[in-house]
Structure 1
Amino acid sequence: MLTGAAHLIRLMPLLALLGVSQAMAQTAGNPPAPEEGLWLAQDHDGVFQIGHCGDTLCGRLIGMLYDGPVPKDVWGRSQCGLVMLTDFRLSKDENVWRGHILDPETGRTYDARIHAESAEVLKLRGFILGIPLFGKTQTWTRYHGTIGPECKLP
């Protein structure tokens, strides 16, 4: 008769195989969202990298147009690398991602929605009081350029 430890040792290869299969199934079943990638803001003054942060999408400012020192947020932190899009969750009934966007100059966070209109176009709508009617929509485009040191756009 096998002890508990010996039985577990004999089952380890099978458990490992099941774990690998399950991980592959999860990866294969979750293709990247069309909203993921690099996006140039509407005014062409910033590039955001949007991707998964756990089970949500988030976005970080990775490129900016500026002269002089790197711009700082209201708390004196560099805006380079600042996470400004947070907690975006897919709303299946509307096929949009709902989350929050940070205004680094005021420190205020607003409700927001994002959705890929096409492979090259992202719509972002920021709004107040949880009411999209009280907001503004921007059109961002897929970014294919380069980014220099300290988030400097060419």
Structure 2
Amino acid sequence: MIKFSLRPAALLAAALAACFGAAPSQAGIRRVNAPLSGLWRNPYGTVDVRIDECGDKICGVVASATPDALADARDSGYPRLIGLELLQDYRADKPGHWVGTVLVPDLGRSFASHIELIDANHARISGCLWRQFLCKSQIWQRL
């Protein structure tokens, strides 16, 4: 039942996973998005999302999901949850903060979103009705 919190918030959480120390790129330029790279789990433990750099932005793809989450996504018109890009086009707008779009499969739509790095192992992922207002948030944990 992947709801706007995958069981009301699990997918949003799935759509938002982040944190790790920035490392220099091969060209010796600081990688702005590196702190979010890694595998993250939503607060319900139903979805794991791999966040990585996609060009000069960040994206997050579902790496694993529980049978219930898979069934919920299927019932909402997403037959393949694994591999689905939930976090799309995130860019850093200030240190420890990224803005982009989160897909919430159970609602069948995308929302404006932002991710805030709380510490090296926790990130707050929010989906909003309008820019950074009227938001629903989840705390995701790095695996």
TM-score, structure 2 as length reference:
0.72
Instruction: State how far apart, in whole Å, the 1-side matches of 2:86 and 2:78 are.
Output: 15
Change (3 A) 1:76 1:41: closer
Residue 25 of structure 1 aligns to a residue whose secondary structure is coil
CA distance in structure 1 between the aligned counterparts of 2:58 and 2:96, rounded to whole angstroms: 14
* Match of residue 136 from structure 2: 136
Aligned residues: 118
Higher gyration radius (CA): 1
1:73–1:104 CA contact under 8 A, matched in 2 = no
Runs of 4+ in 1 over 6 A off after TM superposition: none
Larger helix percent: 1
Does structure 2 conserve the Cα–Cα contact (< 8 Å) formed by 1:73 and 1:107? no
Q: Look up the match of 1:109.
A: 110
Indicate the structure with greater strand content. Answer: 2
The DSSP-based 3-state class of the residue aligned with 2:27 is helix
Instruction: Summarize the alignment of residues 5-154 of structure 1 with structure 2, pairs less than 5 Å apart.
Output: 24-26=26-28, 29-30=30-31, 33-66=34-67, 71-72=73-74, 74-92=76-94, 95-130=96-131, 132-143=132-143
Q: 1:60 to 1:25 in 2, by over 3 A?
A: same
Following superposition, the deviation at residue 36 of structure 1 comes to 1.1
Provide the C-alpha distance between the structure 1 equivalents of 2:32 and 2:57, rounded to a whole number of angstroms.
Answer: 14
Q: 1:37 to 1:76 in 2, by over 3 A?
A: closer
* Structure 2: gaps of 5 or more residues: 1-24
116 and 95 in structure 1: CA distance in 2 versus 1, 3 angstrom threshold: closer
Shift in CA distance, 53/85, structure 1 to aligned 2, threshold 3 Å: same
In structure 2, the residue matched to 1:6 is none
Q: Hey, what's the Cα distance between the residues in 2 that align with 1:76 and 1:103?
A: 10
**Aligned to 1:136, what secondary structure does the other structure show?**
strand
Identity of aligned residues (%): 28
Flag the structure with more relative contact order, 1 or 2, with Cα contacts below 8 A and sequence separation at least 6.
2
